[in-house]
Structure 1
Amino acid sequence: MIDITCYYEGRDLGCSYAPQGCSFKVWAPTASLVSLVLYKDSGHYNTQGLVTDHSNGHEMKMEKDRSGVWSSYYSGDLKGLFYMYKTEFSDGTVYYAVDPYAKAVSANGARTAIVDLLSTNPVGWDEDVKPPLCHPTDSIIYELHVRDFSAHGDSGMCHKGKYKAFTEIGLKDVHGNALGIDHLAELGITHVHLLPVFDYKTVNELQVDDSDTDTSVSLYNWGYDPQNFNVPEGSYASDANNPVTRIVEFKEMIQAFHRKGIRVIMDVVYNHTFTVEDGPFEPFVPRYFYRTDNAGRLTNGSGVGNEVASERPMVRKYIKDSVRYWAEEYHIDGFRFDLIGLTDTQTVKEITNELIEEVDHTLIFYGEPWTGGVTPLTHQTLKGTQKGERFALFNDHFRNAIKGDSDGWGRGFATGERGKELEIMMGVSGSIHDFTYSPSETINYVTVHDNLNLWDKVLTTEGLSQEAGLLNSGGGLFTHSYDNVGMNTADPYKSVNKRNILGSDTVRRTILANGIVLTSQGIPLFQAGDEMLRSKFGDHNSYRSGDLINAIRWDNKRRFRPLFEYYKGLIALRKSHSAFRMHTREQIEKHLDVLQCGGSVVAYRLRDHANGDIWRNIIIIYNGNMEEVEVEIPVSSSGWNIAVNDRAAGTQSMAMVFGDLVTVPKLSMMVLYEEKDAKPYPTRNIEIHYERPKGDYEGWNLWVWGKGMREHQVNFEGIRNGRAVAVIPALPGARQIGYIIRLNDWEKKDVERDRYIDLGTGKGDLQVIVKSSRNQWKRTS
């Protein structure tokens, strides 16, 4: 049995390099002997890209201390050499293994490389400045796979599929549209969330550039198959054979993002490893790093055969050390934890608290609050455990309410399901009554890399997937030839009116879905390419489907430019107005009022300069109906400015709404605002002088309607010259007012048909005389 009380507190595990010599330390408390093995090269690779023989190195026995750490010091400058640890156990088992704390490796992680990290810093690295971030809810996150970003032929980037693609600036297509990292800066996102960029197992780094379209397993993967947790992935480097190159180019990528005002979030996978026996931990402390059942068998909470035992002290330390290393050495700005339900809550709390307090108070942390199978872990980081803490979780309640299920026909508010209004309103409110204590604890999103992406999901719920030729499968199950056949016949945009992009129902549903996300309280996240109708051709699990399915098609920016502009406008709106980024539940409860929540309409108001916003009041309306609707809104003395409608989004007024009614087009959203010091609009008063025989006016009133005005009752204010007088304020822009004179609540009408007053284009007040039981009226002024 492993003595789990054996613990090492130091932060110097691995190789500590200096020109005069290197210190090597590894924790292997149950090993009977550990040796340091030095090599002059990375070894002999077989046809699978593996090095299987490590017996030709120079071996030196290491010394063990009471904490279970084996150490060795070797004098001289070892930069450029490689090393392994040879571990031997009492049962005769012998391993040659890469250092679990490796900072650099040879191609495919075959051997640990010795590098001088100072020499890997690009020019200006010490002056690298993180873009400002005042609060987590100021974040707007864009989820992206490194290779997808630049792999397609129309990307305009030279370094296709590489870290260096993000350093290419000034790129434009032939129509003048910005490409690459300039596109992201133009879009306005604050954070890019990169799918795993640590060294992962299933891509052969020596063959990855052989083909731009091959879908075989060896050339493409999302990266959720960890191998070396503290080393950048080599397939994204220009030279995987040089251990230094991937480090330098990774740092150059981070530097480029920061210069463009974009922070970087790293997707990390500490819940499992790709393999166990030849993985990063088993050769040092067998079974300690993995959870097992009572019979000693590996448990499978990850769904891939193993799960890392984060609750054990040295495992927890390893994860904390690793996250800290990425934050400090690579200037990473945040971390997204894969299947965080498999990481115990204490570990997650320690990571977030220690790094925020000791490394960078602007770091953000979030994760998936679920598992991939049954786990024996008691204190799982599931929904609710983030309440009152400093990390957020993916909000699947809100996600499902907006879009429905992930891969099927199931619908949500934006995809046509009725009865979802309350769930939408709860999500809009930062989920403070069902998911969080504060809005910074929820990641609001509709789709990410998993499952159907947004465009393909909408096509599916609309019954258009077959017409569009979607492939209806996933996980790289297509052969290369079948992919090409399918791609040649598929047209994901067949339903889009190319002359009226924003008028297409399918497009409007995608805008409504992410529009809800971008105007809700919490931290918004959306998937790369949503802003230009990215399709994965129906592949709901494209983790190894290759560039043909996954690569972003940059020509879509030109084709669907109005959609890009709409996203850009929504992002600018959120960034410019703090009312959308409240910090606490108390703020939300004080400043958010529900105006309507039913009939496939959600409308609410952010009032009284919420969170210090420069706008006095803001109204947000979502219409999930297939027809336009009239929505009642509070009357503003200065009128409401429209900043977002079904045709455009931004921060400037496109039109004005006066009165207490606004018409919202089908499948769309609207944002209206009231400025801080706006002057009251001039009203034009219409005086109705109503004359009845014998002066009998008891119980009589007016029922009126008009542009921007809901139907409502207007009472007579008094008697003047024997006539009852009522005043109707005419709103700016109104050309006609309708009215009926009635007794009480429709007991009787003076004249059966509706009457109208034509206001013309004048600006002065009007006086109208109406005589009982006569279908006439007289304008007197």
Structure 2
Amino acid sequence: MNVKHVIWASIMSTTISCQSVKKEYTSFEEYPIPEGKLVEMEYSPIETKFTLWAPTAEEVRVLLYDSGNEGSAYQTLSLEMGEDGIWNTSIKEDLKGKFYTFNVKVNGKWLGDTPGIMAKAVGVNGKRAAVIDLRSTDPEGWANDVRPLLKDYADIIVYEMHHRDFSLDSVSGIRNKGKFLALTELGTTTSQGEKTGIDHLKELGVTHVHILPSYDYASVDESKPDKAQYNWGYDPQNYNVPDGSYSTDPYKPDVRIKEFKQMVQALHKAGIRVVLDVVYNHTFNTEESNFERTVPGYFYRQTKDGKPANGSGCGNETASDRAMMRKYMVESVLYWINEYHIDGFRFDLMGIHDIETMNEIRAAVDKIDPSIFIYGEGWAASAPQLDQEELAMKANIYKMPRIAAFSDEMRDGLRGGWDDDRKGAFLIGQPGHEMSIKFGLVGAVKHPQVINDSVNYSKEPWALQPTQMISYVSCHDDMCLADRLKATMPDATDEERASLHKLAETFVFTSQGVPFIFAGDEMMRDKKGIHNSYNSPDSINTIDWRNKTIHHDVFDYVRELITLRKNHPAFRMGDADKVRQYMEFLPVEGSNLVAFILKDNANGDSWKNIIVAFNSRKEPAKLSIPTGRYTIVCKDGKIKQSGMGQVSGNEIIVPARSAMIIHQ
């Protein structure tokens, strides 16, 4: 038992009575953990069972309501303590359509109403849970819904989007703007005839849509659907229910559930998998949270003086290393897979969680479908209350096989660090970032030509396989790529920034890591220069779909990059040994020029000796290459896979501020 447990246990030590047996818990490790699933409400037309894990409670009540947000309880029942800290009661009548809350008494104090920690349906704003028959929320054909085929993680291309950003624009042609159903609408276009919505995703060619937090979060008032409200959603309230603000009727518990399923079903039919952004590392509030009102102190870590720890920077950090929180996370992930057919998970601030929990999640998911992808942020906002060696940090990814993390090494090597929006890097011609970029191009694995002492953040490789590294240059956090280029190159022309935009995306999609693109980057989306737009208005965050026409050359380039990657397995070998065997960096003179060759027919590719060169200089660069005759497929910001000319000899000229790809 570590020090923080001893201190907090002295505060929270509680005497309870269970079947006339008096027991005192002196540490969190002693809390009983039930073996079965965490099911707090089990409905049938003849009986509804209520259960709650509350081992330190003296009394537990369930309150029944006719409404999800109005009026007082029409009935209150006491639960009885059973085994393993579980309280139980049942009501032998049909409660479908009713709502309920629990109230727990600890140390003589009633802690306040909560829908429970495992609520699966809620009323408006998530304060009351709902009695519901989940099968009635299944859309037609749901039982036959299947995941699109995925042979290997190396085949993944992730597109990160926010529901409102993606569909709210007045010219999007989408009816259900800002809603789950926006991703079910087919045939939507702008007035210029550009495809939008789900057809745009199919046209682009992505394999996975990463939706920002879509569970029930606290910062948007669902009772005011006509009021413009915006948040990314990183403020969890109920982890296992879709958020009502993205539904067409937040007052009806079944509507948000069915519409979320319809969204997943439509994306699956389009050949696209769905990744859910999960934020198990903290909750919106602490004292009034469902966790704290159920088992005080248990679900959160504490500092040595007994105060809530704050590794998330949001006021608290959850304790994944405690048995019930670990069980909770595993069951929650499995619930989203089984009930909603989710195909992947992105863990926010994954570095707050412990390695053992992440590996247990991976193992549990593998029993259902090993193709489900798991990745996360391999860092925390500040040091969590757990030893660094135990945490799911980026440096420990090698301890978590088949779990991936974002590479800020290549990201910041390309566009500059997080701490100064005006400070650029390789893309704007600053020297000294080449090794950080090479680190990302090989997928963060050990490579004989990557000198880790010269890499910006990581002085040793952290991935066992390249598919454990997320390759990206822009995401919802921080400035998007177009804004970053404007900030670091204020005097550049639109054409110059477009060239560098294409160059940046070429790095992402020719990296051996898993490529990831922020929604709208494929058409130079901007956010008016806002660094952290988590609660900025729609005018800042909404994608302007006119950009698809204005910057159609950028869209075409990114689309062709994706097709290039799909068609040629050399760009996605998926194996560290193959990367070391076939990928070789070519010698260059000077800075701001990086080139590599994929030797022979890497990974069985039909192309032989593929050379990719990146030049961020203001002038063309000479590059020595193995003597031969090559076909040019990428040059001057254009891609044509059938070829756009040939070059012979042992030298090529790489145009300024662009990428060049050739092959034999």
One-letter code aligned to 1:397? E
Q: Output one character per residue of 1:654-711: Cα deviation in whole Å (capped at 9) or x when no partner.
A: 111111222211010011122xxxxxxxxxxxxxxxxxxxxxxxxxxxxxxxxxxxxx
Residue 241 of structure 2 corresponds to: 231
Q: Which has the higher helix share?
A: 2
Residue 505 of structure 1 corresponds to: 496
Aligned length: 619
Residue 771 of structure 1 corresponds to: none
Residue 609 of structure 1 corresponds to: 601
One-letter code aligned to 1:595? L
One-letter code aligned to 1:409? R
Contact map agreement 1:594 1:603 (CA 8 A) in 2: yes
Contact map agreement 2:637 2:659 (CA 8 A) in 1: no
Unaligned runs of 5+ in 2: 1-12, 14-24, 447-460
1:361-760 alignment, distance < 5 Å? 361-378=370-387, 379-387=390-398, 389-406=401-418, 407-433=420-446, 434-464=461-491, 495-496=493-494, 504-597=495-588, 598-636=590-628, 639-674=629-664
Partner of 2:398: helix, strand, or coil?
coil
Please state how far the C-alpha of 1:650 moved relative to its aligned partner: 4.3
Contact map agreement 1:404 1:415 (CA 8 A) in 2: no
Query: Given the alignment, which residue of 27, 37, 41 partners 2:63?
Result: 37
Please state how far the C-alpha of 1:94 moved relative to its aligned partner: 3.8
CA distance in 2, matches of 1:618, 1:72: 67
Contact map agreement 1:570 1:650 (CA 8 A) in 2: no
1:282-361 alignment, distance < 5 Å? 282-356=292-366, 358-361=367-370
Please state how far the C-alpha of 1:647 moved relative to its aligned partner: 3.1
**Identity over aligned residues, as a percent?**
42
Contact map agreement 1:199 1:230 (CA 8 A) in 2: yes
Residue 232 of structure 2 corresponds to: 222
Contact map agreement 1:194 1:267 (CA 8 A) in 2: yes
* Runs of 4+ deviating beyond 6 Å: none
Partner of 1:384: helix, strand, or coil?
helix
CA distance in 2, matches of 1:617, 1:512: 21
Residue 99 of structure 1 corresponds to: 116
Please state how far the C-alpha of 1:43 moved relative to its aligned partner: 3.3
One-letter code aligned to 1:291? R
Contact map agreement 2:38 2:331 (CA 8 A) in 1: no
Please state how far the C-alpha of 1:149 moved relative to its aligned partner: 0.7
CA distance in 2, matches of 1:282, 1:582: 46
Partner of 1:199: helix, strand, or coil?
strand
Contact map agreement 1:573 1:650 (CA 8 A) in 2: no
Q: TM-score normalised to the size of structure 2?
A: 0.91
Partner of 1:351: helix, strand, or coil?
helix
CA distance in 1, matches of 2:662, 2:194: 30
CA distance in 2, matches of 1:414, 1:20: 66
Matched, 1:203 2:212: no
Residue 10 of structure 2 corresponds to: none
CA distance in 2, matches of 1:664, 1:616: 20
RMSD of aligned residue pairs (Cα, Å): 1.4
Partner of 1:100: helix, strand, or coil?
coil
Partner of 2:646: helix, strand, or coil?
strand
One-letter code aligned to 1:37? L
CA distance in 1, matches of 2:363, 2:167: 36
* CA shift in 2, pair 1:353/1:94, >3 Å: closer
Contact map agreement 1:572 1:650 (CA 8 A) in 2: no
CA distance in 2, matches of 1:94, 1:505: 60
CA distance in 2, matches of 1:174, 1:299: 51
1:261-280 alignment, distance < 5 Å? 261-280=271-290
Please state how far the C-alpha of 1:175 moved relative to its aligned partner: 2.5
One-letter code aligned to 1:147? R
CA distance in 2, matches of 1:650, 1:121: 44
CA distance in 2, matches of 1:621, 1:568: 19
CA distance in 1, matches of 2:610, 2:132: 55
1:42-121 alignment, distance < 5 Å? 42-44=68-70, 54=72, 56-121=73-138
Please state how far the C-alpha of 1:135 moved relative to its aligned partner: 1.3
Please state how far the C-alpha of 1:631 moved relative to its aligned partner: 1.3
Partner of 2:633: helix, strand, or coil?
strand
Please state how far the C-alpha of 1:299 moved relative to its aligned partner: 1.0
Residue 483 of structure 1 corresponds to: none
Contact map agreement 2:53 2:87 (CA 8 A) in 1: yes
Please state how far the C-alpha of 1:179 moved relative to its aligned partner: 1.1
Please state how far the C-alpha of 1:435 moved relative to its aligned partner: 2.8
Q: Output one character per residue of 1:456-491: Cα deviation in whole Å (capped at 9) or x when no partner.
A: 101111134xxxxxxxxxxxxxxxxxxxxxxxxxxx
Q: Output one character per residue of 1:114-168: Cα deviation in whole Å (capped at 9) or x when no partner.
A: 1111111111111112111111121111110011111111111111110111111
Matched, 1:251 2:261: yes
One-letter code aligned to 1:180? G
Structure scoring higher RCO (CA < 8 A, sep ≥ 6) equals 2
One-letter code aligned to 1:543? Y
Query: Given the alignment, which residue of 131, 139, 142 partners 2:156?
Result: 139
Contact map agreement 1:208 1:220 (CA 8 A) in 2: no
Q: Output one character per residue of 1:375-408: Cα deviation in whole Å (capped at 9) or x when no partner.
A: 2112221122111512011111111111111342
CA distance in 2, matches of 1:435, 1:313: 27
Contact map agreement 2:617 2:657 (CA 8 A) in 1: yes
Moved more, 383-392 or 140-149: 383-392
Matched, 1:161 2:200: no
Please state how far the C-alpha of 1:592 moved relative to its aligned partner: 0.9
